[in-house]
Amino acid sequence: MPLIARASIDQVQAAADMVEIVGQYTELRKAGANYSGRCPFHEERTPSFSVNPAEKLYYCFGCGAGGNLFGFVQAKENLDFAGAVEYLADRYGIELEYEESSARGDAERHRRERLRALLEQATAYYERVLHDAGAAAPAREYLKQRGLGDDVCRQFRLGFSLAGWDKLREAARAKKFSDQDLLDAGLVVPGKGGRPYDRFRGRIMFPLADDRGRTLGFGARTMGDEKPKYLNSPETPLYHKSEAVFGLHAAKAAAGREDRVYVVEGYTDVLALVQAGVHNVVASMGTALTEQQLKRLARVTRNLYLCFDADAAGLGAMSRALTLGRKMGLSLHVVRVPDGLDPADYVLSGAGGEGFRALAADAQTLLQFHVRLALATHDLDKPDGRARAFAQLKGVLSKAATPIERDEELRHVADRLQLSAESVRYLLAGSGRSAEGGDAAGEGRSQPPQGGGAAAAVGGAHELEVRFLAGCLAQPQKGRVVLAAVDESFFATTETRAALRVVKARLEREGAGNTLQTAAKAAEEDDDGEALAEVVVRAGRERFTATVVDELFLRLQEAHVSRLIARLKVTAQTDESGKQGAELIRLQAVRRTVREAIRTIPVDEEPDEG
Ligand SMILES: [Zn+2]
């Protein structure tokens, strides 16, 4: 890990405009001291997302996402902490300084930088070859035939690898890159006798870039019959196949703006669509979408429109992606291109970007897709084929998102299966119960299990602890008094304990200058920043009085004592000395006192000034 100097991080933190950064993903409106808008981390209609511009913190009351400036950039741009700092430094024109850290960390950083430099050189080299070399004329012709113009090829930095065995190797060595560099970047293959040779020969080169547009590896396509048709970079320190998404860098802005992204199979599909004015499009690498790829996409938008071949492999891949995406809470749709065309052929055949958008407007939902898939896989002309389709559809229909959606599909199914109304009703009744996450129409669903065990207990503690800390921040005078009587053992999770440390430090120090760094630092060092962000945002948004803080303090004590009692009840049973039994009785008396105090809290008539 490269160590960026503390001073540089502080500089970036000071220079960045939180509202501007968040504003790239969602529209923000001023609401008091904060800004609010619709959450860029989950789908919602009414705004529950808050940004505190002074502290540069965010929090969503809907999904609980929260953190500081760097955390936000990490999440939305898919970067690690150092990457987020570099991204912001880039944006706000700050030159970063690195600490003289461990020798190994430096070596690692230099290694990665060297590989990046080599991959950039290789990209530029392949580009030059494609556009200028005589030997690349067939490649230029091929792209032209496919209807792809010069502009879009240059935008995605397409290239061509010459057919020789060490053309790239020689070019790279002339730039003082070693064979080891080339091997590490996946650009050459170790040959017999130790002489490596070019991995990519005679292929059109598609650079696979990270979210900032830096080449990590290549996808390479033949123009003839050589096998394999597509050859990709191997796993390297920079390139990981399971995370690769072609075109995401170019698609990000439009995908965020339109709040949807189209996922196609081929590189040329991406190029053709972009050329037709559909910019929010990416290609999966191969047919199976991985969880890592879906996560990268989910950071840009949660609405994915899959547009894969309708062949068996494509259907299977979509089905898996749909199931996986559904588990991740993504909203998935299937765009069907008519006549077995791929998206590139479709837009180039005259339909254009408008035609494609019209198809997308008719995209199938997950349910429609599965229903049609089930209907397509059985021979509906035969009674036993219909019976099998029927059996499969019972399960499929139980996954309907809404009763209305399910009823619509039921009519379609009944029609295709030549079923009577009687059978349809049977299908309807039988499909509701096994609903896995779906809503069964009008049927009284059982209440959520009560008690809820440990998870619910922690949830309740979290809410109380966060609210208490927010109150302390909002009422600093009162906060300082009660916090003096509180230590970390009062808090149930490491998250809220971390938040307690920051709030305490902040109230003790008073100085506004310190708090910003303290808060940012605490939030960046681990994942504990979410609770802190929630505390800070709520302090500025909810109304707290000194009496409310008193009450929260009492409730915090009650929860704390209750936890001690619960623990003692277990251990006291096997304690032969009897000391624990005595302690138990003492604690129960304490709890009674605290409860009595809560009961007799005076009613708050006039809110104090915050
Ligand atoms: Zn949210």
In this prediction, residue 454 carries a pLDDT of 38
Residues 94-109 have pLDDT tens digits of 888 887 666 677 788 7
Looking at the predicted structure, is the pLDDT value of residue 376 above 90? no
Name the amino acid, one letter, at 42.
H
- What spacing in Å lies between the alpha carbon of 68 and ligand 1's midpoint? 15
Specify the pTM: 0.58
- What percentage of residues in the chain have a pLDDT greater than 70? 85
Q: pLDDT grade, residue 537 (50/70/90)?
A: confident
C-alpha–C-alpha distance, residues 601 and 546, integer Å: 12
Q: Average pLDDT of 353-382?
A: 85
Q: pLDDT grade, residue 312 (50/70/90)?
A: low
Q: Look at the block and give the residue holding tokens 């506004």.
A: 512
**CA dist 328 to 49, 291, 439, 547, Å?**
20, 9, 18, 42
Q: Do the beta carbons of residue 263 and residue 283 sit within 8 Å?
A: yes
C-alpha–C-alpha distance, residues 547 and 553, integer Å: 10
- What spacing in Å lies between the alpha carbon of 35 and ligand 1's midpoint? 14
3-class secondary-structure state, position 111 = helix
- What spacing in Å lies between the alpha carbon of 65 and ligand 1's midpoint? 6
- What spacing in Å lies between the alpha carbon of 47 and ligand 1's midpoint? 9
Looking at the predicted structure, is the pLDDT value of residue 285 above 90? no
Out of 70-74, 283-287, 566-570, least confident range = 283-287
Beta partners for 52? 57
C-alpha–C-alpha distance, residues 418 and 420, integer Å: 7
Out of 159-168, 327-336, 355-364, 575-584, least confident range = 575-584
DSSP 245-297: EETHHHHHHHHHHHT-EEEES-HHHHHHHHHTT--SEEEESSSPPPHHHHHHH
Token pair of 238 as six digits:
């920079």
Looking at the predicted structure, is the pLDDT value of residue 491 above 60? yes
- What spacing in Å lies between the alpha carbon of 64 and ligand 1's midpoint? 6
C-alpha–C-alpha distance, residues 53 and 544, integer Å: 21
Q: Do the beta carbons of residue 333 and residue 306 sit within 8 Å?
A: yes
**CA dist 283 to 35, 68, 105, 246, Å?**
35, 32, 34, 5
Looking at the predicted structure, is the pLDDT value of residue 605 above 70? no
Burial status of residue 108 (CB atoms within 10 A of its CB: 0-12, 13-18, 19 or more) = middle
Q: Average pLDDT of 373-379?
A: 82
C-alpha–C-alpha distance, residues 27 and 32, integer Å: 16
- What spacing in Å lies between the alpha carbon of 259 and ligand 1's midpoint? 15
- What spacing in Å lies between the alpha carbon of 340 and ligand 1's midpoint? 39
- What spacing in Å lies between the alpha carbon of 62 and ligand 1's midpoint? 5
Q: Which residue has the higher pLDDT, 419 or 268?
A: 268
- What spacing in Å lies between the alpha carbon of 278 and ligand 1's midpoint? 27
Looking at the predicted structure, is the pLDDT value of residue 153 above 80? yes
Question: How many other CB atoms are there within 10 angstroms of residue 14's CB atom?
Answer: 13
- What spacing in Å lies between the alpha carbon of 61 and ligand 1's midpoint? 7
- What spacing in Å lies between the alpha carbon of 309 and ligand 1's midpoint? 33
Q: Average pLDDT of 393-400?
A: 72
DSSP 41-70: SS--SS--EEEETTTTEEEETTT--EEEHH
- What spacing in Å lies between the alpha carbon of 43 and ligand 1's midpoint? 7
- What spacing in Å lies between the alpha carbon of 429 and ligand 1's midpoint? 35
Looking at the predicted structure, is the pLDDT value of residue 570 above 80? no
- What spacing in Å lies between the alpha carbon of 532 and ligand 1's midpoint? 16
- What spacing in Å lies between the alpha carbon of 59 and ligand 1's midpoint? 8
Q: Average pLDDT of 389-412?
A: 72
Looking at the predicted structure, is the pLDDT value of residue 524 above 60? no
